[in-house]
């Protein structure tokens, strides 16, 4: 029998589901289905395989794939072995990929047919990759070893099946403050900038979002996994909740509103987390009400959705749109309209349980009344600073200045404003 651990590593959420619900379906990827027990076994095999390649705790493992079973297994396999996952969007340019690989000094990079050619080109342009203070790290890791999924393997590369090893059950490291994830944003002047998220932060935000009432996701939900897993919304807000709840995740690979709507209908999807462009596209479809008939909850994140689009979509479908606000540095969920007793047009809701929020002026003082200011947040979900030296981490008082503008009304509901609306 597998041992159930107190969760100090995100991968242990998977272990819990394998123990409790091993025979239930965890992931649906086209005509492929894996149970919780099968997924747990694959993650163990990858964790052991990386160890046999020489991976040690703290090594960075990049993942450049579309949403698929192998992405989930590679991510959790890296975490289970104490490594740091570095997700890269599969449509990134070679230059962007090179900068992330170089800055993170990733020793390995998983890539599938959608991204492998770009990753190969990126790995060949070392001199074009700014390294900042990581020159020594880069010298030890460049070029990273490419691990290829569902595509021909070239000299010096490994196939996905080569990075598996049979053996004893893998027990994750117990240091919750260890960094589990580097999430890159564009940064300024083209320089990559990665938020370091510890297992403590990732697990805290998963727990905080689960305590929203009504709950955004339940164990009996079938969840649409169309938000890119390379984004914090898809990776921790969606996959993280699925791991905690034991829901079933239906993986969608590309932004295709018609394909997504068909997945909802075919698989009986009940929980739909999406980005605003999907809702805008669905609002114009005559068949959308029938396609979304199984949906219980629709969640919108990653960007604000216009009030008129929400109104049109809800009138056409009868499905309520719930919005939220988040930032990668917060794991990412900060607010949700599910926490608000009254729905207000334009609001992104109230802070989720365990997260505090302030609106601050340019002197660092709290804004009074309904004047706009900068959004500051505090909670156990906050990041450990930017890679590699922790610069930008929350101060001694625990507050993080997000750089985003907002207004909080008398009821505590947040409304976002652009920079021109700032005081």
Q: What is the pLDDT of residues 291-309, one digit of tens each?
A: 999 999 999 987 778 899 9
Assigned CATH for 211-421: 3.40.50.12780
Lowest mean pLDDT among 18-32, 292-306, 346-360: 292-306
Q: What share of the chain is helix, strand, coil (3-state, %, to 5)?
A: 35, 25, 45
Average pLDDT, the chain: 92
Task: Give the list of residues 6+ apart from residue 21 with CB closer than 8 angstroms, or none.
Answer: 36, 246
> Which pLDDT belongs to residue 2?
44
Indicate the domain borders of the chain. 42-196, 211-421
Question: CB atoms < 10 A from the CB of 35, how many?
Answer: 18
Summarize the confidence of residues 164-172 as an average pLDDT: 91
Q: Is the separation of the CB atoms in 268 and 28 below 8 Å?
A: no
Output the pTM of the full model. 0.94
pLDDT above 70 coverage of the chain, percent = 92
Peptide bond into 107 cis (omega under 30): no
Q: Are 215 and 221 in contact (CB under 8 A)?
A: no
Q: What is the pLDDT of residue 253?
A: 87
Would you state the pLDDT for residue 255? 78
Q: Please tell me what DSSP assigns to residue 296.
A: S
- Residue 162: partners with Cβ closer than 8 Å, 6 or more residues away: 49, 147
Q: Which pLDDT tens digit goes with each residue over 133-154?
A: 455 666 678 899 999 999 999 9
Residue 168 is predicted with a pLDDT of 85
pLDDT interval class at 256 (50, 70, 90)? confident
Beta bridge partners of 239: none
Intrachain domains 42-196 and 211-421 with the same fold: yes
> Which phi and psi angles does 328 have, rounded to 5°?
-55, -35
Q: Rounded to 5 degrees, what angle do the CA atoms 11, 160, 151 make?
A: 130
What pLDDT score does 250 carry? 98
Model confidence pLDDT, tens digit, residues 402-418: 999 999 999 999 999 97
CA–CA distance, 115 with 92 (Å, rounded to integer): 8
Write down the CATH number for the domain with range 42-196: 3.40.50.980
């Amino acid at each position: 029998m597998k041992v159930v651990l107190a969760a100090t590593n995100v991968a242990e959420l998977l272990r819990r589901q394998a123990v409790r619900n091993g025979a239930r379906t965890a992931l649906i990827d086209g005509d492929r289905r894996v149970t919780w027990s099968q997924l747990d076994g694959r993650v163990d095999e990858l964790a052991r395989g990386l160890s046999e390649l020489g991976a040690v705790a703290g090594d960075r493992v990049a993942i450049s794939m579309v949403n698929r079973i192998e992405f989930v297994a590679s991510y959790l396999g890296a975490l289970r072995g104490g490594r740091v996952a570095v997700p890269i969007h599969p449509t990134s340019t070679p230059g962007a990929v090179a900068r992330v690989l170089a800055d993170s000094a990733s020793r390995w990079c998983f890539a599938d047919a959608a991204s492998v050619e770009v990753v190969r080109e990126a790995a060949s342009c070392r001199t074009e990759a700014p390294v900042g203070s990581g020159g020594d790290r880069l010298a030890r890791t460049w070029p990273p070893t490419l691990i290829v999924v569902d595509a021909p393997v070239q000299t010096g590369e490994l196939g996905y099946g080569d990075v598996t090893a049979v053996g004893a059950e893998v027990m994750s490291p117990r240091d919750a403050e260890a960094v589990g994830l580097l999430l890159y944003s564009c940064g300024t002047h083209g320089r990559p900038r990665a938020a370091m998220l510890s297992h403590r932060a990732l697990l805290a935000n998963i727990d905080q979002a689960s305590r929203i009432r009504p709950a955004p996701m339940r164990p009996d939900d079938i969840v649409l996994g169309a938000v890119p897993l390379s984004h914090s919304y898809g990776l921790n807000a969606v996959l993280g909740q699925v791991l905690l709840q034991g829901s079933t995740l239906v993986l969608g690979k590309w932004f295709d509103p018609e394909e997504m709507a068909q997945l909802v209908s075919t698989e009986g999807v009940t929980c739909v987390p999406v980005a605003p462009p999907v809702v805008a596209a669905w609002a114009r479809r005559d068949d959308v009400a029938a396609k979304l008939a199984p949906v219980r909850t629709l969640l919108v994140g990653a960007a604000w959705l216009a009030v008129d689009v929400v109104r049109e979509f809800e009138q056409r479908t009868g499905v309520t749109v719930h919005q939220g606000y988040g930032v990668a540095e917060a794991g990412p969920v900060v607010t949700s309209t599910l926490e608000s007793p009254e729905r207000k047009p334009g609001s992104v809701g109230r802070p989720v349980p365990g997260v505090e929020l302030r609106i601050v002026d340019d002197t660092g003082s709290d804004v009074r009344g309904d004047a706009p200011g900068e959004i500051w947040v505090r909670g156990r979900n906050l990041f450990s600073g930017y890679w590699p030296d922790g610069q930008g981490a929350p101060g001694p008082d625990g507050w993080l200045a997000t750089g985003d503008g907002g207004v909080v009304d008398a009821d505590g509901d947040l409304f976002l404003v652009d920079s021109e609306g700032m005081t």
